[in-house]
Amino acid sequence: MHCVFRAEVPHDAPNSSLPTPESTKFLALDLPLPDRKFLEPIDIPIEENAQMKLEYDPIWLAIMKNTDRFTEVTEKIIYLPSSASASTNERWDFRPTDEEIAEVGELFEHNFKIPENFRQTAPPHQPTDKRCCPPSLYYRNPQTMEFCQKLKIKDFNLLLCQVPGKTHFIGEPQYMIEQLATNPNEIHLDDK
């Protein structure tokens, strides 16, 4: 769909112990082409004394953990259970229980603040880069690695890097190159 589209979805609380969540508002924008609405600024009211921090949603984390067994890198069709499989006692509704949300809380030590551990992975764009250059390399992301380890789920980026015959598309993360380049213990043999 290549057009502007808005939708709002109301939600019920998945468990009685949780407050009713606000509705989710979706905004789909058009293709980034001339004379098309592909960008739209929106104003989000923020309280004056609000802390500017991002936090993970414990319900979303529990859903990620519940569905981790479906994370695979394959060309085969992955079986996903449906309501029809309910008769086989196979779980098909992955809305988390209070216990599953509590388990995620323990994994994160009840601190859902997203850490400010951002590091540059890909080299920055250079204005001199050619317009028709080869596809860029794939770079592993340390934030994703740490997130997956903490939640104890599969690291999809690692799975992609382990696909046989595809390792030539993997680049050295920029932050690692910079660490190697600025090693204070390095001895320069060419110095006189």
Q: What is the pLDDT of residues 160-179, one digit of tens each?
A: 878 777 666 666 666 555 55
pLDDT higher than threshold 80 for residue 96: yes
CB 150 within 8 A of CB 168: no
What average pLDDT is seen over the chain? 81
pLDDT at 103: 97
With cut-offs at 50, 70 and 90, classify the pLDDT of residue 184.
low
pTM metric for this prediction: 0.65
Chain segment 9-68, per-residue pLDDT in tens: 888 776 667 677 788 888 888 887 788 777 778 888 888 898 888 999 999 999 999 999
Distance CA 151, CA 96 (A): 15
Q: How far apart are CA 98 and CA 24, in angstroms?
A: 22
Helices 142-151 and 98-107 cross at an angle (nearest 10°) of 130
Mean pLDDT for 70-74 is 86
Q: How is the chain split among helix, strand and coil, in percent rounded to 5?
A: 30, 5, 65
**189, exposed or middle or buried, with CB in 10 Å at 0-12, 13-18, 19+?**
exposed
Report how far residue 122's alpha carbon sits from residue 146's, in angstroms, rounded to the nearest whole number. 18
